[in-house]
Amino acid sequence: MAKQRVKLTFPPALITQPVIYNMGRQFDVVTNIRRANVTREQGWVILEVTGETAEIERAIAWAIEQGVRVDPIEGDIVAG
């Protein structure tokens, strides 16, 4: 199993949408929110995605298609 950490930045139109939930349902990945800050105007989430490399790539590509900005994270943001 591969593991990747990414920062998802949500535009205002997607703040109330269940993007992370849908990612876990539509793709064979496990999502783990490591850190987040969400307001009515903006939101970002540090997300750990675990699964087969191809599935992680598909899930991330899907999030980008939805309008979410996805940036790779290097290192551990929250130890543990």
- CA 59 to mean position of chain CA atoms: 8
Domain range enclosing 47: 2-72
d(CA 28, CA 47) in angstroms, rounded, equals 15
The CATH number covering residue 14 comes to: 3.30.70.260
H or E stretch at 20: helix 19-26
Q: What is the pLDDT along the chain (80 residues), one digit of tens a residue?
A: 999 999 999 999 999 999 999 999 999 999 999 999 999 888 999 999 999 999 999 999 999 999 999 999 976 544 44
Count of domains for the chain: 1
1, 31, 56, 42 alpha-carbon torsion, rounded to 10° = -150
67, 40, 79, 27 alpha-carbon torsion, rounded to 10° = -40
Note whether residue 78 is domain-resident.
Answer: no
Note whether residue 77 is domain-resident.
Answer: no
Helix then strand then coil, in percent of the chain rounded to 5, is: 30, 40, 30
Note whether residue 29 is domain-resident.
Answer: yes
